[in-house]
Each structure stands twice: as structure tokens, then as C-alpha cells.
Amino acid sequence: MTNPMNILVTMPAAVEHRRMLLEAAPEARIVYAKATELAPDEITSADIIVGNILGNQLPLLGSPRLIQLNTAGVAKEYLGLRQQLPAAVLCCASGSYGPAISEHMLATLLGLMKRLHEYRDDQGEALWIDRGEVRSLKGARVLVVGLGDIGGCFARLCAAMGAQVSGIRRRPGPAPAGVEAVFAASSLEALLPEADVVALCLPETGDTIHIMDKKRLMLMKQGSYLLNVGRGTALDQDALLVALREGRVAGAGLDVTDPEPLPRGHPLWGEKNIVITPHVSGWYHLRETHDRIIAMACRNIRALPDGPFEGLVDFDSGYRA
């Protein structure tokens, strides 16, 4: 008699989620626990892990067949598993976060363009002031840097509102729905001066750290808008402050910063034309996101041992394969 498969679930799981996992692996022994509360043997004995564990726990892994991350991005510690566990399948949750994060991006952008952040500040002071001219997405040129699931969803939302959308991704190819043209990263500097909106939807890799540096921020169109929802390291925040104060960037929406949390007293907090949210556009704030990750995990469990697997990680790039 073979031993039952051990599944370790470190992400939250509602009753419905637990039912879905049990249906995907009816003979398995499933343990639910927070990563911070795991015993070493629970990590070592896991055949499948659903959710993330801490970086210092990775050396405790035994011989897992599948690691299903609950994050779309892949922390660099996990990329070392190719040497440590060459037979393990590593999948990220890319494909689960698009609706939630893209709607957050759109809400932030429209708030900036309609000056709602200024009116909200005025409300706190009981001030009745007309802040003047506003902007529209209709006819605006939107450049999405990182045209994966999240960037693609945002592109479709902007196109539906009448924007002209272009995208940048690692492998240029046919334009997805809502996108008029797709370019390689080498075209970024040529595209920035024409964009009314620049949206960064990038994981952290060697190629994306400070991809928006001082030089490129100064290439942005006067009075344009910048959004960042990928990783805070994609943006030179000191250079952003200069661009905001000079009016080069009319408004910025940051759901990610470097570092996180953004320290008290950091000058970004005091800038009028910036909206900062504490990395909340994704996670499980929208129930649909939570459901999508669990459903993906279940499909990948059923796909063992040979696949195909959703969200399979390319160890060389750190992206979804």
C-alpha cells in the first residue's frame, strides 16, 4: 500500500477552497498552516505545497513534486530551487491577479486624472474649491510596460474607455485584445515621450530594477501619469519626486514602493499629486483572486506528474514560462 500524498497549504483556504483541494487529491493528507507557524517536519514531508513558505525554510524542503506559489511574481530565493530540487515543478499564480489589480490601476488613474485626490484632501479641510481642468482616458496614449496577465487586463480596460494602448514585453509578437502594437524593451525610450500614461506591471528581475530611472522619467511626456503595481524597485523614487515637482509627471499611483512599508517621513508621503496604497491591489482583497489561485492549484495537482502546468516558472527569466 502506497503512502498518501502530503499536501501542505500555507495560504488561507475557505471551506469551499478546502473542498476543491480535497476533490483534486481525494487520497491526500492535507495540512493547513501559516508559513510562520510551520514545524520543520511539515516542510520536509510535503509532496505538494500550495502557497509560499519563507526563504529561510526552503533548505528544509524534502522532495516536493509541486510547489504552487500564491504570488504572481517569483522571489529570487525560489529560483535557486532548480539546483536544489531539479525534479520539482515550480508554478506561480500569474493569471490570477489580472482583474483585481487592473481595476485598482484604473481607479487610481481616473482618480488622478479627475483630481479626486485633491478634492478628498479639500474635504478634510472643509474647503469648497474648484480645482479646474481634468483629463480623460478617451484618446489618451497608454503605454503598458509588462504586458502579461495584469498588464493585458489593464490594457483592455483602457481600450474600452477609448484609449490608444501600446505594450512592451520581452518577446514582441501579435498584439493581444485592446492593444494596438507590441514592442520590445529596447523601444521604451522612444515610446515614453508620446505616452500620456505609463503603467509598470513588472516582476523584479535583473532587467527591471530601476527600469524607470532619472533619464527615462525625464523622457516622459510633460503632464503624463505613471502607475507602478509590479515591484517598487522598478522605479527610481528620488527621480520620481523631481519629475512630480517639475510637472513632468502630473500624477503617480504607487501600489508598491522600495522599501515596503514606505518609512514614515519619506518625502513621497507629502507629495500632493501621488496616490500611495500599501501593496493591496492584489492579494485576496477580491474574492475572485483567491478563488482563481486555488482553482489553478487544483488543476496543477491533477496535472501531475507530466503536466501541462499553469504558471510554470522559467528559472532563467523568473517569469511564467
The reply to whether 17 belongs to the active site is no
* Distance (Å) of CA 206 to CA 113, 196, 317: 32, 27, 9
Report the 3 state secondary structure along 179-244: CCEEECHHHHHHHHHHCCEEEECCCCCCCCCCCECHHHHHHCCCCEEEEECCCHHHECHHHHHHHH
Catalytic residue among 18, 156, 279, 299: 279
Catalytic residue among 260, 285, 287, 302: 260
pLDDT of residue 1: 43
Question: At the fourth CATH level, which superfamily is domain 6-96+286-303?
Answer: NAD(P)-binding Rossmann-like Domain (3.40.50.720)
The reply to whether 310 belongs to the active site is no
Is the fold of 6-96+286-303 the same as that of 98-276?
yes
pLDDT in tens, 58-88: 999 999 999 999 999 898 899 999 999 999 9
pLDDT of residue 171: 81
With a cut of 80, say whether residue 3 has pLDDT above it: no
pLDDT of residue 2: 63
pLDDT of residue 172: 76
Closest by CA to 134, choosing from 116, 159, 157, is 116
Between β-strands 197-200 and 274-276, what pairing exists: parallel, antiparallel or unpaired? Answer: unpaired
* Distance (Å) of CA 180 to CA 162, 202, 219, 291: 12, 20, 22, 31
> pTM of the predicted model, to two decimals?
0.93
What residues does each domain of the chain span?
Answer: 6-96+286-303, 98-276
The reply to whether 194 belongs to the active site is no
Catalytic residue among 17, 141, 231, 290: 231
pLDDT of residue 178: 95
| Rounded Cα gap, residues 44 and 123, in angstroms | 55
With a cut of 60, say whether residue 8 has pLDDT above it: yes
With a cut of 60, say whether residue 146 has pLDDT above it: yes
Q: Percent of the chain scored above 90 by pLDDT?
A: 92
pLDDT of residue 205: 85
pLDDT in tens, 211-222: 999 999 999 999
* Mean pLDDT, residues 304-312: 97
Average pLDDT value over all residues in the chain? 96
The answer to whether the CB of 294 falls within 8 A of the CB of 273 is: no
pLDDT of residue 48: 98
Give me the CATH code for the 98-276 domain, please: 3.40.50.720
